[in-house]
Amino acid sequence: MHLADGILGAPLLAGTALVGGMGVVRGLRMMKPEDIPQTAVLSSAFFIASLIHIPIGPVSGHLMLNGLMGVLLGWRVFPAMLIALVLQAVLFYFGGITVLGVNLVIMALPALVVWGVFGGALQRAERVPVVSALAGMVAVVALGLSAVLVTLCLYSAGKALLPVAAAVLVAHLPVMVVEAFVTAAIVVFIKRVRPDMLDDPWAGPAKSSPRAV
Amino acid sequence: MIPPRIAGAWLSLVLLVGPLVPVGAHGIRWERAEEAVALRLSYTDYRPLRGASVTFTAPGSDEIYFSGSTDQRGTIAFVPDRPGPWRFVVEDGLGHRHEEVLDIGTPAMAGSQVPATRKTTFLAAVLGLGVILVVFAVLGLWKGFFSGRRRA
């Protein structure tokens, strides 16, 4: 789902860079020293997940795990994804440096949205089927929102890219299914061993406190 | 004035014999282009990049010299008309794009770029993980330093 250099216009690049930059600053302010190992692990998982391709007919997609990162990291998803995206662009030529802001917003903003929508419910859910269903929805909604944002970005670049946008949407439907199962398995495991890792964004400054700079 | 009988004889002859004469000016011939440059494109997990759009731009020019699509094995070939750094851009239509300069100086230099292998991909992945570790370690030290100063 990485957008490449040279496709999008300068206003969109600048705007998304600004939004992404604000997200990174907010994420860094939210990050307490004890949060750093968890953020590093999920940043690494995001970096490596892009190498795991799922063949889908003539094309393929790769895992993104942005839903999982959202419910586990909250605002910290922005700096975690930024580092991974820079390395993916430099080492694997996924995306590009000038489109870092676009790709960051495309992947991190949906993660933040699912954290806000599902974070509290996931923290309160106790039964495994409920947790699995919620986690699956987290993955599907996050990936779906990312696909919609990609479509909007490509549409802004011109109608000639609409077939590409349609291909991106269709190609990621099976990825959503795979990612839903992966996310559900991981979240169910986390609920058993470290339920405190799941953060409720509306429960006050218990975990992600801006005061803990 | 050609007598009608002679003209009719010529016309008959042309209609009868004409189709039997090979029309050399519009025929198609072929030969193998030994100087062709072929690229094999794949994703980093080595699956071939099928049906990807590839454009080649000649050295010192901004106009596309050749464009085409890769085959089922991810290969595409073209015949450069001059030596030098040829720029090619690959797009798979799903947002993946790669731009590279292929130095075509002498036949020995063609394809001298190091291709992505499992080993280089593995090393790049390890390098990336190492960089992430270092970045977050530095961040941890920085955060710890400032939180320590605040407590003090």
User: pLDDT digits over B63-91, tens only?
Assistant: 888 888 898 888 898 888 877 788 888 88
Cβ atoms A176, A43 nearer than 8 A? no
- Bigger pLDDT: B25 vs B15: B15
pLDDT above 90: percentage of residues in chain B: 1
B131 in reach of chain A (CB within 8 A): yes
Among B135, B138, B145, most A C-beta atoms within 10 A, so best to mutate, is: B135
Mutate to test the interface with B, among A1, A5, A36 (most CBs of B within 10 A): A36
What does the pLDDT read at residue A211?
38
What pLDDT is stored for residue A22 in this prediction? 95
- Name the band, by pLDDT with cuts 50, 70 and 90, for residue B26: low
Task: Tell me the backbone φ, ψ of residue A212, rounded to 5 degrees.
Answer: -85, 50
The two tokens of residue A116 are 């806000």
A156-187, pLDDT tens digit by residue?
Answer: 877 666 777 777 777 778 888 889 999 999 99
Nearest CA-CA distance, residue B65 and chain A, Å: 19
Q: Give the number of other CB atoms < 10 A from CB of residue A124.
A: 13
Using the predicted structure, report yes or no on whether residue B35 has a pLDDT greater than 80.
no
**Nearest 5 degrees, angle CA A57-CA A47-CA A166?**
35
Predicted local distance difference test score (pLDDT) of residue A135: 94
β-sheet bridge partners, residue B78: B37
Dist. CA A95–CA A65, nearest whole Å: 17
Q: What is the distance between the alpha carbons of residues A37 and B144, in angstroms, rounded to a whole number?
A: 13
Which is more confidently placed, B23 or A18?
Answer: A18
Q: What ipTM, to 2 d.p.?
A: 0.77
Which chain A residues have a beta carbon less than 8 Å from that of B144?
33
For position B109, what pLDDT does the model report?
37
* Predicted pLDDT of residue A136: 95
pLDDT at A167: 74
Instruction: Quote the distance between the C-alpha of residue B104 and its chain's center.
Output: 13
Please compute the mean of the pLDDT values over residues B54-66 and round it to a whole number. 85
DSSP track, chain B: ---HHHHHHHHHHHHHHGGGS--GGG-------TT-EEEE-B-TT--B-TT-EEEEE-TT--SEEEEEE--TTSEEEE--SS-EEEEEEEE-SSS-EEEEEEEESSTTTTT-SPPP-HHHHHHHHHHHHHHHHHHHHHHHHHHHHHHHHHH-
Residues of B in contact with A149 (CB under 8 A): none
Angle between helices A77-92 and B118-151 (to 10 degrees): 150
Give the whole-angstrom CA distance, residue B84 versus residue B82.
Answer: 7
Low pLDDT (below 50) residues in chain A: 206-213
Q: How many CA atoms lie within 13 A of A111 on its CB side?
A: 30
User: What's the mean pLDDT in B38-59?
Assistant: 83
Report yes or no on whether pTM surpasses 0.90: no
Distance from C-alpha of A61 to C-alpha of A63, rounded to nearest angstrom: 7
pLDDT at A92: 81
Sort out which chain B residues have CB atoms less than 8 A from A36's CB and list them.
Answer: 136, 139-140, 143
Contact state of B131 with A96 under an 8 Å Cβ cutoff: no
A206 touches chain B (CB under 8 A): no
* Interface membership of B44 toward A (CB under 8 Å): yes
